[in-house]
Amino acid sequence: MSGSTTSMMVDEQRLPENNVQQIELLTGTEDSYGGVRVEIKNRMDSDVFGDVLRASISQWRQKGTKGVWIKLPIQHANLVEAAVKEGFWYHHAEPNYLMLVLWIPKTAHTLPANASHRVGIGAFVINSKGEVLVVQENSGRFKGTGVWKLPTGVVNEGEDICTAAIREVEEETGIKTEFVEILAFRQSHKAFFTKSDLFFVCMLQPLSSEIQKQEEELEAAQWMAVEEYAAQPFVKKNPLFDSIANICLAKKDMKYTGLSPFSATSSSGKTNILYFNNQDLKQPLSSGNQA
């Protein structure tokens, strides 16, 4: 959200000491949806903040403002209660701030919800010998099970899927790789903190072979024949794991085509990664660079 910055003053608002004086209202940045975003930067007494906030809401209401977003850095946590008393609710939280929102009109709000999905990757790293890189975890559901699985991880904020796959493999096993394509993805719901989950199975080509496993997360790591990985009892009994293994086997035999990354620029000038089936495309994409 972006737009112009507004700063307003209102006369004869009473402070807690009952002195009639001028209150400087909250400064906000207007967005293109009729809302305003405010970031609290200076320390303030919670009672004073409540008075200022009420006066600011009154002015926003008169101006026809719809949604109000207040970003409270963690050092201003003392102001949360005052904001909630004025009708604000939690939208989302990060390690260093809390975002509160208020819908001023007497209608159902149209404020966008917080992020609904977490994004993860699984890395199918296969070498020229037909061996796949597999790991055993020393925590989580697979701890102590003896199950060999693909390296997995979570995509960071602002990180491309292809970049995350390369990073996670190197962090866990020390193997440097080159991203090839996305083989498949699955969506599940009510996963982490009731959020939905997207998981991308990515194929990578190894650029090194010597494994240096991450001691904190892994019990073991090794190269294993793809057929041996796919034949594990746990994999065969689990429809999802078995399906992923069959896709990997088909890719090894060159009987499957995934989605290759392509760097493209949007109309706003932002760089995006487009994943597509380049084998069945009749005409090559003419702009951008292969990611």
Which residues are annotated as catalytic?
171
Q: 64: phi > 0 → left, psi -120 to 50 → alpha, else beta; which?
A: left
3-state secondary structure of 7: coil
Q: Which of 207, 219, 197, 193 is nearest to 136 (CA)?
A: 219
Sheet strands (E) in the chain: 5-6, 9-14, 20-24, 28-30, 36-39, 67-73, 89-94, 97-103, 117-125, 131-137, 152-154, 177-188, 196-206, 218-225, 260-265, 271-276, 289-290
**CA separation for the pair 134, 123 (Å, rounded):** 9
- Start-to-end C-alpha separation, the chain: 29
**CA separation for the pair 13, 55 (Å, rounded):** 8
